């Protein structure tokens, strides 16, 4: 599919601007450059292929031509939104979940805290949010989203940090990447109005993967905490309880399933 011809399909959305690249290094890098040059709120970079896509914690994110939905959205948060600045990644995840749920086929679509979307327990989407600051205020966010749409989008023979798949494989039907992108953006606009509200947290919590299950959270420094997921805190922290029933929360880290021995 030639994404270029379809960018016009987004013209009904209140975007700050749209730039399409058949090939990019990382859409997050292009978006950050554009943001620094004065891009408006909700400006969007879409690429068919990334040659230097980045994931969380220094990982590589693969985007082969014609196979995935790869984009970065620039957000200039309002004063009110600054209170919920840590929730923008979840906002994007909720938008992806809503869009995937509107696809044909009954797929179990959940958010693996903090930033992955799982379909039938396989990772199909990763989100990388990057920010620039002025003093103690976030000036702008770049929310980078990579969705495995076609089979070729899932790297084979690579060490994945979680079992991965693509939407087409799981839905058993063809998916139009531009229709999906439109739907994700609509969801983003919708949930942005709810950011930080109870309705937002309820929607996120009800989409949370592994609720009631024992998981391991690896910190960025390499230490692990074992606990059972019991929900979310208002600030987006994951709430767990340990073997003795004591509650604790984590603000960052990587979630692994304990039974996979990871
Ligand atoms: C992860 O799961 O570790 C996050 C992956 C985020 C990938 C997206 S693809 C679009 C944007 N550009 C990048 O270089 N990364 C993000």
The pLDDT value recorded for residue 244 is 96
CA of 56 to the centre of ligand 1 (A): 7
| pLDDT band at residue 161 using 50, 70 and 90 as cut-offs | confident
CA of 97 to the centre of ligand 1 (A): 16
CA of 30 to the centre of ligand 1 (A): 13
CA of 246 to the centre of ligand 1 (A): 35
The pLDDT value recorded for residue 8 is 78
Query: Each residue of 13-50: pLDDT tens digit?
Result: 999 999 999 999 999 999 999 999 999 999 999 999 99
- Cα 147 from Cα 113, distance rounded (Å): 16
The pLDDT value recorded for residue 155 is 83
* Atom of ligand 1 at shortest range from CA of 56: 3
Tokens encoding 82: 């600054």
- Cα 81 from Cα 34, distance rounded (Å): 21
- Cα 251 from Cα 228, distance rounded (Å): 15
pLDDT at 2 over 80: no
The pLDDT value recorded for residue 1 is 46
pLDDT at 6 over 70: no
- Cα 19 from Cα 147, distance rounded (Å): 18
Nearest Cα residue to atom 15 of ligand 1:
54
The pLDDT value recorded for residue 48 is 95
pLDDT at 253 over 60: yes
* Atom of ligand 1 at shortest range from CA of 71: 10
Nearest Cα residue to atom 16 of ligand 1:
144
* Atom of ligand 1 at shortest range from CA of 52: 14
Query: Each residue of 74-119: pLDDT tens digit?
Result: 999 999 999 999 999 999 999 999 999 999 888 999 999 999 999 9
CA of 230 to the centre of ligand 1 (A): 28
Out of 15-19, 152-156, 175-179, pick the least confident: 152-156
Torsion angle, alpha carbons of 178, 182, 188, 193, to 10 = 170
Cis ω for the linkage preceding 83 (within 30 of 0): no
pLDDT, mean of residues 153-179:
86
Residue 49, CA atoms < 13 Å, CB-side half-sphere: 9
In the chain the first and final C-alpha atoms are separated, in Å, by: 37
Tokens encoding 239: 């709430």
Residues near ligand 1 (Cβ within 6 A): 26-28, 50, 53-56, 59, 61, 70, 72, 116, 126-128, 144-146
pLDDT, mean of residues 125-134:
96
Ligand 1 mutation target, pool 23, 69, 128, most atoms within 8 A of CB: 128
CA distances from 53 to 1, 23, 24, 61 (A): 20, 11, 8, 5
- Cα 255 from Cα 125, distance rounded (Å): 15
CA of 145 to the centre of ligand 1 (A): 5
Q: 138 CB contacts (<8 Å, ≥6 apart)?
A: 77, 82, 85, 131, 132
Ligand 1 mutation target, pool 146, 159, 254, most atoms within 8 A of CB: 146
| pLDDT band at residue 3 using 50, 70 and 90 as cut-offs | low
For 192, counting Cβ atoms within 10 Å of its Cβ (0-12 exposed, 13-18 middle, 19+ buried), the class is buried
CA of 117 to the centre of ligand 1 (A): 12
pLDDT at 160 over 80: no
């Amino acid at each position: 599919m030639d994404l270029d011809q379809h960018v016009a399909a987004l013209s009904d959305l209140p975007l700050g601007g749209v730039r399409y690249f058949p090939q990019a290094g990382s859409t997050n890098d292009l978006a950050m450059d554009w943001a620094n040059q004065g891009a408006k709120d909700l400006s969007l970079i879409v690429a068919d292929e990334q040659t230097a896509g980045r994931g969380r914690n220094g990982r590589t994110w693969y985007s082969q031509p014609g196979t995935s939905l790869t984009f970065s959205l620039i957000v200039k948060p309002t004063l009110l939104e600054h209170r919920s600045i840590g929730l923008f990644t979840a906002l994007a995840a909720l938008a992806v979940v809503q869009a995937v749920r509107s696809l044909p086929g009954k797929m179990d679509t959940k958010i693996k805290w903090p930033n992955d979307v799982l379909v039938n327990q396989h990772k199909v989407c990763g989100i990388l949010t990057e920010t620039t600051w002025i003093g103690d205020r976030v000036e702008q966010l770049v929310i980078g989203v990579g969705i495995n749409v076609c089979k070729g989008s899932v790297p084979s023979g690579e060490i994945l940090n979680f079992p991965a798949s693509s939407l087409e494989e799981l839905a058993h039907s063809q998916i139009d990447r531009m229709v999906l992108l439109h739907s994700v953006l609509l969801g983003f606009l919708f949930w942005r109005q709810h950011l930080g509200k109870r309705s937002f947290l309820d929607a996120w919590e009800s989409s949370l993967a592994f609720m009631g299950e024992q998981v391991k959270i690896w910190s960025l420094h390499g230490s692990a905490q074992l606990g059972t997921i019991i929900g979310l805190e208002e600030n987006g922290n994951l709430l767990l309880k340990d073997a003795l029933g004591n509650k604790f929360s984590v603000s960052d880290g990587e979630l692994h399933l304990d039974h996979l021995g990871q």
